[in-house]
Chain A
Amino acid sequence: MATTKIPANVAAASLSRRQFVKAGGALVVGFGLVGPELLKGDTPKPTVLKNSLDAALPSSWIEIHPNNTVLIRTGKPDFGQGTTFTAYRQIVADELSVPFEAITTVVNGDTDRTPDGSGAFDFLGHGTPNIRKAAAYTYQALLDLSSERLGVPKDKLTVKDGVVSGGDKSISYGDLVKDRQLKLTIPVAGDLTSIFGLAVMGDPPMKPVSEYTVIGKSFKNSITSSKVAAKETWATDVRLPGMLHARIVHPKTLGSKLVSAGALDKIRFPNSQVIVKANLVGVVAVTEWEAIQAANQVAGTTKWTEWKGLPGSAKLQQHLKEEADWKAAPVTKGGVNKGDVDPVLTSAHKKHSATYHMPYMKHAPIGPTMAVGDVKPDGTVHIHTHNQNPQALRGEIAKMLGISADLVIVHTYPGPGHYGRSNGGNAGAEDEAVILSQALGKPVRVQWMRPDDLQWSTQSPAAFSEIQIAIDEKGKMAAYQADHYMPAMQDDRLIGAVLAGLPTMPAPDVHNDFITSTVNNISDPWTYAPVPNVMERGHGTFQVGQKSSPLAVGLRDHSMRTPVQYQQNYPRELAMSEAAALAGADAIQFRMDHATEERAIGVLKAVRDASGWDTRPSPRAVATGATPLRGRGVSLMFRSGTYWACVCQIAVTPGTGAIKVEKYTVAVDPGIVINPDQLKRQVQGGAVMGISIALLEELTFDESGITQRNWMNYPILTMADVPEINVVLLHNPKVGAYGGGSEAANALAAPAIAAALHDATGKILRRLPLKPAYVLEALKA
C-alpha cells in the first residue's frame, strides 16, 4: 500500500514528494468515460482553481491503471481514524467490484492533488460520501465501456474482482482502460474553499447492501505500519532547503497590544532575528534550539498593554447567566417542538427543574500545532502542515494575503490529532509561518510551544442549560423543555493574521454564515418521540471577551468532537436520569418507555445486557462511611446515523470524593458496520476521552487570559484510570446505510457518570468536571 511514501531523507522529503508520486505511483492512464445519461439535471459547474484538480472529472477521484490497481483521492485528510485508508477503500472496492487490495494508493488532503475539499469530519457522509458516488459513476461507465467492447448488453454483464464477464467473454478493468482516453463529466456543486467543500451531485445507481463483500470485514489501516516503523513523514518532519525555525512571542493577555518588542541579545543569539508586524512578534533563527532560547529572551523584555476583560473561570457561570448578551442572536427552536409545555409544566404531578453547567475544554493535541510556510519568488504560497480542512485554509491564507486562492497550495501530513480544531481550516501557526516566510523570503517553520497551544488556540465553548420535565400520575413524561445557552461555537479567524492586522473572516456575529454565527442551533436529535409536549430552544451570544478585547479576540471557541450536540446531550441525558428517579423508574426502562425507534431501544437493551445492569430505580444508597460506594448510570444519543447507548459503573470514595470509572460499556448501532475492528478502536478511544472530560478537564482563566500552561495544570486521563471498556457493535444491515462512528463516543460518558454518582450517593452534581473537591463538597452538604 503506497500512501504517498516519502524517502527516509527528510531534508529532501517535501521536494521529492511529487516526483515520487510520478515515479512510484504507476503510470496513470487518463481515465474518464462518456456517460451523459448519468447526468441528472444541469448542475452549474464550479470554477476550477489553478493548482487544483477538476472535481467534475472522474479521474480526479479514481484512477484505474492498466495493471488493475486503483488509486483514490479525497480532500479529507486522515486524523487518526484511518477512515480514508480503511472504510473509503472498502466502500470504493464494493462499488467497483474490485478486491480491497486492488486499491493500492490513497491520496488525501493536499489541495493540489485532491478534488473536493471539506474536512476531516463526517467521513461517511451520512452513508453517501463523495468518493462512493464517484465510484458509482465510474462503475456505470465501466459497464458501458465493457458492453461496447464485449458486444454484450450492459444488463447481461457481471463483475467480479475487477473482471467484467458476459456471454462467454471477459475483460479486466486494466485491459479496458489501456490506451483509452475517454470522457465523462460528473456533476459537482459547492464552494471548494468553504468548510463543506464540493459535493458530488446526482443519483448514480449504487451497489445493493446484499452485494457487499468487502464492507463488513476488519481490514487493517495501512498507514499504521509506516507510523510504527518510523517511516512516515509527519508534518513535524518537513525540512526545506534554507528553512528557518521560528517561535512566536504571543501577547501577554488576550487583549494586549504591543508597546515594544524586546531587544534581541545578538551576542548570545547571533543567528536570530525578530520580526514584528503590528502585534505579531516572531523570533526566527537558523537552528531550532537557538530560536527557542532567543524567543524566551525576547519575550522577557517585550512590553504589552494590560487588559482585564474576562470574568475569570471562577465567575464564568455567573457571567454567562447574568452578564452575557443572549439577545445577540435570535432564539432558535428545535425541529420536534410540539404541544404546549407551559400549562403541563405548571400543573405537573411531579416536576424536575434544574440548570446544568459545562466548562470550556481544550482540544489538547499531544503535539502543539506547527506549520512550514514557504512564499516562493513565483508568488505561490506553500504551507506544509497537519490540517483537517486544507482547502478552507487555502481560502483563508489567500484572503489574508489578498491574493487568489489559485496561488496557495496546502500540503498535508499526519500529525497529532486535534479533534475538530482545524475543521474550519486552521489550528494556529499556519498563518504565522506564511507571514514570516513572506517577510524573510525563505521557508519558515513555526512551532508553537505547549503554553502557546493551551493559551492561544481555540477551545470547546462553555455552556449551560435549563431543563424542565413534567411527570404525570402514571410516571410518564408529559413535557420536556430545554433552554440551551452557549457562546458562538466556531471562530475560524487566523489568529496570527488578527495579531498582524491582516484581513481575516469576521469575528463570530449573527450576520455570518451559520457556521461562524452566534446563533445556537438545536443539534441533539430528539430520541423520545412519545413525549407529547416538547420545547427546545437555543440561545447564542458572542464569545466571552470578544467584544471588550482590543484585538476582538477573547476566549475563541471551536468545535471539538460532537460539537454543540455534546453541550445539549449532556444536560438532556442527565435530566432524563433524574426524571426517571423522580418517577421511581429504572433509568434504562424509563428511556425505553419513552422511545419508539427500534434502534434506540435496541442499543439500550444491548447495553443493559452487556453491562450486567441491575434494573431498579436510583439512587441505591446514600453517602456514608469510607468504603467506596458503587453506582451506575446510562446515556443515549443519536448522531450522524448512529445510535449510541452507554453505561458507566463507578466507585466513589466518600472520604475523598474521588470517582473511579470501573466499567464503561457502550452499544453502537451505525446500521452497517464497515470495519468492526477499526470502529472498535475508535470507540475505545472516544470512551477514554469522554471519561477524561467528565472527570478532569476544565479551562482555567483569570481576567486577562488562560492560566494553564502545560499538562500539570491541564491534566488528561492516564492509563492508570482506564476502566474495563466493553464495545458492543450492533451490525444492522437492514438500515441500508452506514452511520458515523469516530467522534460521538466521547460525549456519552459525562451524563452516565453523573447519573452513576447520583445512583451511588443520592447526590446530583450538574456541573462538569466531576473533580474530587467538588464531589466531596456535595457529599458533605
Chain B
Amino acid sequence: MVTLNVNGARREVNVPDNTPLLYVLRNDLELIGPQFGCGLAQCGACAVLVDGKEVRSCVKSVASVANKEITTLEGLPARWAKQKGLSAEEAKNTLHPVQQAWIEEQTPQCGFCQNGMMIKATELLESNPHPSIVQIKEAFTTSGPSPNLCRCGTYVAIMEAVQHAAEIMAKGGK
C-alpha cells in the first residue's frame, strides 16, 4: 500500500512499489492528463509536478513519490486557486492561467504532448513570472530530463502561450 498526495487529496493505492507513477495515475486514480509517450523520460507527455518540479511519471516509481505533493493537469486549477486564495466557488469555475492561455492562443494541434507542455510552463512561470523567449526555449529544451517534444510542431504557439499566460498571471488570473 502506497499513500500518495495527489492534487491536494490523500490517495491510497495497492500496487507494487516499482510501478511507474504514470500507470497508477491513469489506471488506478483515473487521472488522465498525463499521457504515455515513450516510457523512457524522453518526450515529456507524461509530466506531472512533484513538489513543484516537473517530473516524468513514466519512469518515476510510485514508492519514490509517496507523501510528496503531486499535481497533475487536472490539479492545475486548484493549485492556482490555492496560490491566489480564491474561494471554493471561484476555484470551481477557474482554469489555471496556463490553461486559459493555451485555449486563447489555440496552442494544441493533436494536443497529445500538451499535458507536459502545460506542466513545464507552470513550473517555469512559478519560478520566473516573466520569462524571455530564450528562457522559454531553455525551459522546454534543456531544463528537464529531455526536451519536451511536439510532433505537430506547435512550439511557436507554445512560446506565445507561455508569454500570454505570464500576462494573465501578472493580472491576477483575469
Residues of chain A at the chain B interface (Cβ within 8 Å): 8-11, 79-82, 220-221, 224-225, 227-230, 233-234, 236-237, 239, 287-289, 292, 364-368, 414-417, 419, 447, 449-450, 677-678, 681-682, 684-689, 692, 710-712, 716-720, 722, 725
Find out whether the CB atom of A719 lies under 8 angstroms from the CB atom of B141.
yes
Residue of A at shortest CB range from B104? A220
Residue of A at shortest CB range from B100? A228
10 additional A-B pairs beyond A227-B111, A417-B152, A711-B43, beta carbons within 8 Å, are A227-B108, A230-B33, A233-B32, A234-B32, A365-B112, A368-B36, A416-B35, A686-B153, A688-B155, A722-B156
**Residues of the A chain whose Cβ atoms lie less than 8 Å from the Cβ of B19:** 289
Instruction: Say whether B30 faces chain A, with CB atoms less than 8 Å apart.
Output: yes
Which secondary structure dominates chain B's binding surface? loop
Knowing A228-B99, A416-B112 are in contact, say whether A719-B147 is a contact too (CB < 8 A): yes
Bitwise interface map of B from 43 to 81 toward A, beta carbon under 8 Å scored 1, else 0: 101000000000000000000000000001110010000
Among B102, B107, B109, B141, residue most surrounded by chain A Cβ atoms (within 10 Å): B109
**Residues of the B chain whose Cβ atoms lie less than 8 Å from the Cβ of A236:** 26, 32, 35-36
Q: What are 26 of the A-B contact pairs (CB < 8 Å)?
A: A8-B30, A9-B30, A80-B111, A80-B152, A224-B106, A230-B33, A234-B32, A236-B36, A239-B27, A366-B110, A366-B150, A414-B111, A416-B110, A450-B40, A681-B106, A684-B154, A685-B109, A685-B152, A688-B156, A711-B42, A711-B146, A711-B149, A717-B153, A718-B141, A718-B155, A719-B136
Residue pairs across A and B with CB atoms within 8 Å: the count is 179
Please tell me which one of the listed residues A11, A287, A417, A725 contacts residue B112 in the complex, with CB atoms under 8 A apart.
A417
State the CA gap A364–B43 with chains docked (Å): 12
**Residues of the A chain whose Cβ atoms lie less than 8 Å from the Cβ of B27:** 239, 287-288
**Residues of the A chain whose Cβ atoms lie less than 8 Å from the Cβ of B114:** 227-228
How far, in Å, is A224 (CB) from chain B's closest CB? 6
Instruction: Say whether B91 faces chain A, with CB atoms less than 8 Å apart.
Output: no
Find out whether the CB atom of A11 lies under 8 angstroms from the CB atom of B153.
no
Find out whether the CB atom of B109 lies under 8 angstroms from the CB atom of A417.
yes
**Residues of the B chain whose Cβ atoms lie less than 8 Å from the Cβ of A722:** 137, 155-156, 159
Find out whether the CB atom of B112 lies under 8 angstroms from the CB atom of A719.
no
Residues of chain B in range 139-174 having any CB-CB distance to chain A below 8 Å: 140-142, 146-159
User: Sorted from nearest, which 10 A-B pairs have the closest CB atoms?
Assistant: A688-B153, A80-B110, A417-B110, A416-B112, A80-B109, A685-B153, A718-B147, A720-B141, A230-B33, A711-B42
State the CA gap A268–B74 with chains docked (Å): 34
How far, in Å, is B3 (CB) from chain A's closest CB? 18
**Residues of the A chain whose Cβ atoms lie less than 8 Å from the Cβ of B103:** 220, 224-225, 228
Knowing A288-B27, A687-B153 are in contact, say whether A711-B38 is a contact too (CB < 8 A): yes
Please tell me which one of the listed residues A287, A366, A414, A417 contacts residue B149 in the complex, with CB atoms under 8 A apart.
A366
How far, in Å, is A716 (CB) from chain B's closest CB? 6
Please tell me which one of the listed residues A230, A234, A681 contacts residue B109 in the complex, with CB atoms under 8 A apart.
A681
**Residues of the A chain whose Cβ atoms lie less than 8 Å from the Cβ of B73:** 230
Find out whether the CB atom of A689 lies under 8 angstroms from the CB atom of B35.
no
Find out whether the CB atom of A450 lies under 8 angstroms from the CB atom of B38.
yes
**Residues of the A chain whose Cβ atoms lie less than 8 Å from the Cβ of B129:** none
Find out whether the CB atom of A689 lies under 8 angstroms from the CB atom of B153.
yes
How far, in Å, is B85 (CB) from chain A's closest CB? 22
Among B30, B43, B110, residue most surrounded by chain A Cβ atoms (within 10 Å): B110
Instruction: Say whether B131 faces chain A, with CB atoms less than 8 Å apart.
Output: no
How far, in Å, is B58 (CB) from chain A's closest CB? 10
State the CA gap A82–B110 with chains docked (Å): 8
Find out whether the CB atom of B37 lies under 8 angstroms from the CB atom of A366.
yes
State the CA gap A560–B158 with chains docked (Å): 24
Find out whether the CB atom of A221 lies under 8 angstroms from the CB atom of B39.
no
Find out whether the CB atom of A366 lies under 8 angstroms from the CB atom of B159.
no
Among A11, A236, A416, residue most surrounded by chain B Cβ atoms (within 10 Å): A416
**Residues of the A chain whose Cβ atoms lie less than 8 Å from the Cβ of B153:** 684-689, 692, 717
Residues of chain B at the chain A interface (Cβ within 8 Å): 15-16, 19-20, 23, 26-27, 30-33, 35-40, 42-43, 45, 72-74, 77, 95, 99, 102-103, 106-115, 118, 136-138, 140-142, 146-159
Residue of A at shortest CB range from B45? A366
**Residues of the B chain whose Cβ atoms lie less than 8 Å from the Cβ of A230:** 31-33, 72-74, 115
How far, in Å, is B134 (CB) from chain A's closest CB? 10
State the CA gap A712–B149 with chains docked (Å): 12
State the CA gap A324–B152 with chains docked (Å): 33
State the CA gap A239–B31 with chains docked (Å): 13
**Residues of the A chain whose Cβ atoms lie less than 8 Å from the Cβ of B36:** 236, 367-368, 447
Knowing A288-B23, A718-B141, A719-B140 are in contact, say whether A725-B156 is a contact too (CB < 8 A): yes
**Residues of the A chain whose Cβ atoms lie less than 8 Å from the Cβ of B149:** 366, 711, 716, 718
**Residues of the A chain whose Cβ atoms lie less than 8 Å from the Cβ of B141:** 718-720
Please tell me which one of the listed residues A414, A686, A719 contacts residue B155 in the complex, with CB atoms under 8 A apart.
A719
Please tell me which one of the listed residues A224, A237, A687, A712 contacts residue B108 in the complex, with CB atoms under 8 A apart.
A224
**Residues of the B chain whose Cβ atoms lie less than 8 Å from the Cβ of A677:** 106
State the CA gap A719–B157 with chains docked (Å): 11
How far, in Å, is B111 (CB) from chain A's closest CB? 4
State the CA gap A712–B146 with chains docked (Å): 9
Knowing A681-B154, A718-B149, A722-B156 are in contact, say whether A237-B32 is a contact too (CB < 8 A): yes
**Residues of the B chain whose Cβ atoms lie less than 8 Å from the Cβ of A220:** 103, 106
State the CA gap A178–B104 with chains docked (Å): 37
**Residues of the B chain whose Cβ atoms lie less than 8 Å from the Cβ of A233:** 32
Find out whether the CB atom of B106 lies under 8 angstroms from the CB atom of A415.
no
State the CA gap A414–B112 with chains docked (Å): 9
State the CA gap A228–B33 with chains docked (Å): 9
**Residues of the A chain whose Cβ atoms lie less than 8 Å from the Cβ of B39:** 292, 449-450
**Residues of the B chain whose Cβ atoms lie less than 8 Å from the Cβ of A419:** 151
Find out whether the CB atom of A11 lies under 8 angstroms from the CB atom of B30.
yes
Find out whether the CB atom of A367 lies under 8 angstroms from the CB atom of B106.
no
**Residues of the B chain whose Cβ atoms lie less than 8 Å from the Cβ of A366:** 35, 37, 43, 45, 110, 112-113, 149-151
Among A221, A237, A368, A685, residue most surrounded by chain B Cβ atoms (within 10 Å): A685
Find out whether the CB atom of B16 lies under 8 angstroms from the CB atom of A289.
yes
Among B72, B118, B151, B157, residue most surrounded by chain A Cβ atoms (within 10 Å): B151
State the CA gap A689–B156 with chains docked (Å): 12
**Residues of the A chain whose Cβ atoms lie less than 8 Å from the Cβ of B159:** 719, 722
How far, in Å, is A62 (CB) from chain B's closest CB? 26
Find out whether the CB atom of B38 lies under 8 angstroms from the CB atom of A710.
yes
State the CA gap A10–B40 with chains docked (Å): 25
Find out whether the CB atom of A228 lies under 8 angstroms from the CB atom of B35.
no
State the CA gap A364–B37 with chains docked (Å): 11
**Residues of the B chain whose Cβ atoms lie less than 8 Å from the Cβ of A79:** 110
Find out whether the CB atom of A685 lies under 8 angstroms from the CB atom of B43.
no
Residue of B at shortest CB range from A416? B112
How far, in Å, is A561 (CB) from chain B's closest CB? 11
State the CA gap A220–B157 with chains docked (Å): 14
State the CA gap A686–B109 with chains docked (Å): 11
State the CA gap A634–B111 with chains docked (Å): 31
Knowing A230-B32, A230-B33, A718-B147 are in contact, say whether A367-B109 is a contact too (CB < 8 A): no
State the CA gap A716–B43 with chains docked (Å): 10
